[in-house]
Amino acid sequence: MYVSESRGSTPAAASRTAARGLPGPGRRSAVASTVLALGAVSLITDVSSEMVTAVLPLYLVSGLGLSPLGFGLLDGVYNGFSALVRLVGGHLADRGGRHKQVAALGYGLSALCKPLLPAVHTLPLIGAVLAADRTGKGLRTAPRDALISLSSPPEARGRAFGVHRAMDTAGALLGPLVAFLILRRAADGYDAVFTVSFCVAAVGVLVLLLFVPSRTTRPSPATGAERPSLRAAVALLGRRELRGLALCAVALGLATVSDSFVYLMLQRRLGVPDRWFALLPLGTAAAFLLLAVPLGRWADRLGRWRVFVGGHVALLLAYALLLSHLRAGVLPYAVLALHGAFYAATDGVLMAAAAGSVPEALRSSGLALVQTGQAGARFCCSIAFGAAWTAFGDRSALAGAAVALLASVALSIRLRPAEAV
């Protein structure tokens, strides 16, 4: 896909045109080649990481004969560390415009973790390798999203993020399939899965190094006042628009129940049979894949903020279906479709919206700030939801989350921080 699109114009030239926001002939229909290259990198990397994710439980239980329960491979402390890594990654990327280098560091670190997995045989060490893998993910996310936003004209950012997220999700869907094919060929060949996963990840790094231009912005005197520094990054929150956006993202994040809870509720409340349980995340991913581009385009046309808030309304509907006493056979599909639509309308769209409120020189830091706020809020929600479940039961906990979500949506509609974007 990428190769055919990029032929005829070098990626660097294309992205420079895009970064200036010039409509240019044919630019309306084509997504910047940098975005496609980054999409390809994410697709390849997700194939690699989801291969590991898919076989890890089997590897631990069948391959190593371990009982993974009760170890908590990565704990809450790590989640805090991960948020910090994301901010650091954003800040490092902005200094000297090293988005590509920091992203490459992140992708490279994750790739190097793959061959380590079969070399360690105890859960604490496996936990450490997974933590390093996720550190790589934390480092690369903000610079990558900054590159996407910097290489797309502002009026088509929603679509650019949509294309990237769709490619990313396609990789996530392919990964388990590749792992399965390897295990089919070589029973118990977990080491082969990890080795192939490393090779795939290395191809991703190669594509990044070769096809993503290192400079997407030209230093201009106008950005001199926003020279990237930690203070400038923190000062971003002084900007009314970004502050409002981050506030709403945090408020909505505080009412966003984590995926595993949604799947657990699906099973408990709608009686999804056990043998389908492992396939539930695929339903969300499929809807996300199909809707990411159309909703990204909508976001460009109707306003990113509207689509972002609309995505949370979809999540609210999913909660409502889970709480309802309806018992139709299509309900689980409807919940998964709404859950996927929620991701399609929020994940890339928030970045597209936030990009408009952050100056180019601080793009990574700004996006990292918003992402970290959102991720932190969702983590708090998970803890609160678990506590509410313990105290009041699952139904009441979800009802509470629905009320909180309704309040956050109302707040977001009232604040309208990015209506102009």
Nearer to other proteins, 199 or 411 (CB): 199
Residue closer to other proteins, measured from CB, 245 or 272: 272
In the complex, minimum distance from the CB of residue 30 to other proteins, in angstroms, rounded to a whole number = 16
By C-alpha distance, which of 332, 342, 333, 252 is closest to 288?
342
The residue whose two tokens read 């704990």 is: 75
Nearer to other proteins, 108 or 281 (CB): 281
Report, in Å, the least distance between residue 65 CB and other proteins: 5
Smallest Cα–Cα separation from 162: which of 326, 345, 363?
345
187 or 225: CB nearest other proteins: 187
Distance CA 144, CA 129 (A): 23
Q: Measured from the CB of residue 53, what is the shortest distance to other proteins in angstroms?
A: 5
The residue (of 176 and 310) whose beta carbon lies closer to other proteins is 176
Cα dist from 145 to 77, 79, 186, 352, 420, whole Å:
25, 20, 38, 9, 21
In the complex, the smallest distance separating the C-beta of residue 415 from other proteins, rounded to whole angstroms, is 31
Report the C-alpha gap between 236 and 274 in whole angstroms. Answer: 47
Q: Which residue spans within 280-352 are E strands per DSSP?
A: none
- Structure token pair of residue 41: 């990198």
Nearest to 370 by CA among 391, 380, 355, 385: 355
**Minimum CB distance to other proteins smaller for 223 or for 258:** 258
Instruction: Return the residue matching tokens 């630019």.
Output: 27
Taking the complex as a whole, the smallest distance from the CB of residue 14 to other proteins amounts, in Å, to 11
Question: Residue 295 CB: number of other CB atoms within 10 A?
Answer: 30
Nearer to other proteins, 330 or 391 (CB): 391
Q: How far apart are CA 22 and CA 154, in angstroms?
A: 10
| CB 86 to other proteins: min, Å | 14
Residue 305 beta carbon to other proteins: minimum distance, rounded to whole angstroms: 27
Q: Buried b / exposed e across 334-358, counting CB within 10 Å, b at 16+?
A: ebbbbbbbbbbbbbbbbbbbbbbbb
Cβ proximity to other proteins, 2 vs 298, nearer residue: 2
Q: Assign residue 134 a region: left if phi > 0, alpha if psi is -120 to 50, beta otherwise?
A: alpha
Q: Smallest distance, Å, CB 323 to other proteins?
A: 16
Coil, helix or strand for 336?
Answer: helix
